[in-house]
Amino acid sequence: MHSTFLKSLYLAALCVLATAAGAQETWVRCGASIDVVEGRLTDAVTLVMVDERIDRVVGGHPPAEENVEIVDISGLTCLPGLMDMHTHLTSQSSPQRYTEGFTLNEADVALRATVYARRTLDAGFTAVRDVGDSFNVSIALRDAIEAGHVPGPRIFTSGKALATTGGHADPTNGWRADLMGTPGPRDGVLNGVGEAREAVRQRYKDGADMIKITVTGGVLSVAKSGLAPQFRPDEVRAVVETAADYGMHVAAHAHGKEGMIRAITAGIHSIEHGTMMDDEVFELMKTHGTWYVPTIIAGKFVAEKAEIDGYYPKLVRPKAREIGPMIQDTFERAWKSGVRIAFGTDSGVSMHGDNAEEFVFMVETGMAPAEAIRTATVNAAQLLGVSDQAGTLTAGNWADVIAVAGNPLEDVSMLGRVEFVMKAGRVYKRE
């Protein structure tokens, strides 16, 4: 409470100093806005932006003052920028995906990533976690976006995801024997506690913001099991403890129950996908405060593509058919049980720019649109540890605003038709 009060005073002082110094103000006139905390539609508001932050929120549309830039979107409804907690900006699904590791250069991957980043931003997602990349491209992309060289969302990235030998994120799965080699901690492959610590430290050295581990098998890896645990309990603990030393949280890809239990009891920050969750896992997550990032859209996408001959390798198709369709039901049981949920899509497995379809699938289970929107705003900000900067249209927060033509509390599919995007006070999309 004391620190929150001091922060409020500090932000207020900054606002006064900025105004006194004659800082440029941008006024965004919204026809209405969504109070994502209360889950209600407000009357018209004007968001006053100064130095990439929301300086203040004013009711109605007061007359313009001198030296003020006006952004008039009074026909639209404003929301905080959306946040997707599970993306892969360096790749996208296609029938060629499994051969591209042999045909694409680092530069090819990097240039494609700039396109996917822009699609994500245009879709209204102003911040993302990237939880597994190639060549550390997402780290370079994050820095390029922050420097203003290319447009894209704010990126919180793990760099290369961590796996055990033959595990879901082992980059050589399915390769010819003489090409496999023996990837190690530098490549994101570890065995044992010592290598677990080394792999985390390598990600820190690379410039990652967080850590991603694959505690169970996966759907799309060229390996037989999609459910078996792939990290020993002491290995998971070593990853989590070492990441904590560097102030990084750890996300765990997990489909099978035993792998999830090992991760949750080790102190993992979030479970991604969580297909085989049951009541025991839900209670464990609530006890430990573990976040759940569902990725329903990815499950539906892979199940659909599994029916197309040649889209996935033969080893992958049965897993995609079995595991993919289960995630929506798991999600429904999880939110009804009271597990903390943050929005995530696994975009890259599905198509970049289609992120908002996840809202529709969430609401199909009976979740209210307001609650679904909170998972991508308030909840996502909490997961990232940036609740004091993001998630609401509040003074002191990032000047990240999107707008749609209508009320998404009544029709959440409107979030798939974003007409205005502002990030850090700069307009990137206006239709």
> Domain 2-81+392-430's class?
mainly beta
Backbone angles phi, psi at 183, to 5 degrees: -60, 145
d(CA 248, CA 210): 5
For residues 276 and 278, give the distance between their C-alpha atoms in angstroms, rounded to a whole number.
Answer: 6
Terminal Cα-to-Cα distance of the chain (whole angstroms): 42
* The pLDDT of residue 224: 87
169, two tokens: 């994120």
> What is the Cα–Cα distance from 41 to 370, expressed in whole angstroms?
10
User: Residue 358: what are its φ and ψ, rounded to 5°?
Assistant: -60, -35
Contact 120, 429 (CB under 8 A): no
Per-residue model confidence (pLDDT) at position 22: 59
CA distance 317 to 68: 57
Q: Are 300 and 328 in contact (CB under 8 A)?
A: yes
Catalytic, 346? Answer yes
Query: What pLDDT is stored for residue 424 in this prediction?
Result: 98
17: three-class secondary structure by DSSP: helix
3-state secondary structure of 264: helix
Q: Please tell me the distance from the alpha carbon of residue 422 to that of residue 79, in angstroms, as a whole number.
A: 11
Catalytic (active site) residue 51 = no
Locate tokens 């998630």: which residue? 391
> Which CATH topology does 82-384 take?
TIM Barrel (3.20.20)
Provide the pLDDT for residue 65.
86
Q: Helices 357-364 & 296-305, crossing angle to 10 degrees?
A: 100
Burial of residue 224 (CB within 10 Å: 0-12, 13-18, 19+) is exposed
* pLDDT tens series, the chain, 431 aa: 444 434 444 444 444 444 444 579 999 999 999 999 999 999 999 999 999 999 999 999 999 888 999 999 999 999 999 999 999 999 999 999 999 989 999 999 999 999 999 999 999 999 999 999 999 999 999 999 999 999 999 999 999 999 999 999 999 999 999 999 999 999 999 999 999 999 999 999 999 999 999 999 999 999 888 999 999 999 999 999 999 999 999 999 999 999 999 999 999 999 999 999 999 999 999 999 999 999 999 999 999 999 999 999 999 999 999 999 999 999 999 999 999 999 999 999 999 999 999 999 999 999 999 999 999 999 999 999 999 999 999 999 999 999 999 999 999 999 999 999 999 999 999 98
Q: Which of 212, 257, 305, 423 is catalytic?
A: 212
Exposed, middle or buried by CB within 10 Å (0-12, 13-18, 19+), for 19?
middle
Question: What are the C-alpha distances in Å from 193 to residues 158, 167, 174, 197, 239?
Answer: 19, 16, 26, 6, 8
**CA geometry: angle at 47 spanning 394 and 356, to 5°?**
70
Q: 262, 236 in Cβ contact below 8 A?
A: yes
Give the pLDDT confidence score for residue 128 in this predicted structure: 98
393's torsion region: left (phi>0), alpha (psi -120 to 50) or beta?
Answer: beta
What six digits make up the tokens of 222? 């060229």
Please tell me the distance from the alpha carbon of residue 215 to that of residue 264, in angstroms, as a whole number.
Answer: 11
Domain ranges in the chain are: 2-81+392-430, 82-384
Report the DSSP beta bridge partners of residue 35: 40
Say which DSSP state 155 is in.
E
Distance CA 240, CA 269 (A): 9
Token pair of 386 as six digits = 């940036």
* Strand ranges in 262-304 using DSSP code E only, listed in sequence order: 270-273, 291-293
Measured CA to CA, the distance from residue 126 to residue 124 in angstroms comes to 6
Rounded to the nearest angstrom, the gap between the alpha carbon of residue 294 and the centroid of all alpha carbons in its chain is 11
Residue in 319, 346, 400, 429 annotated catalytic: 346
Nearest to 260 by CA among 224, 233, 289: 233
Give me 213's structure tokens.
């581990």
